[in-house]
Amino acid sequence: MNITLYQFEDCPYCAKVRRELDRIGLKYTKAEMVRDRNDPTRKLLLEKSGVPTVPVIEIDGKFIGDSSAIIAYLHGLEH
């Protein structure tokens, strides 16, 4: 399973997702985003996830935004 977390290191919502990934024991790559919403990568994440903010997680090509939605999805992987 390939997992990338698009994040800001100092974002509390991103930290919440990192804690959950670590708790479950899933390996992931962190991608630090720039704070410019006009950045091409940020625009792509908005297009793929429908969410204009971080965190956004990509799991095997599926993009999920919003920490609550990400954590709910991760809980589904546990069961």
37 vs 47: which has the higher pLDDT: 47
Looking at residue 38, its pLDDT comes to 93
The residue among 48, 77, 41 whose CA lies nearest residue 65 is: 48
pTM, full prediction: 0.94
Under the banding of pLDDT at 50, 70 and 90, the label for residue 9 is very high
- pLDDT of residue 79 exceeding 80, the answer is no
Percent of the chain clearing pLDDT 70 (strictly above): 99
Terminal alpha carbon distance of the chain: 16
Buried b (16+ CB within 10 A) or exposed e, 23-35: eeebebeeeebee
**Domain residue ranges of the chain, discontinuous segments joined by +:** 11-57+65-78
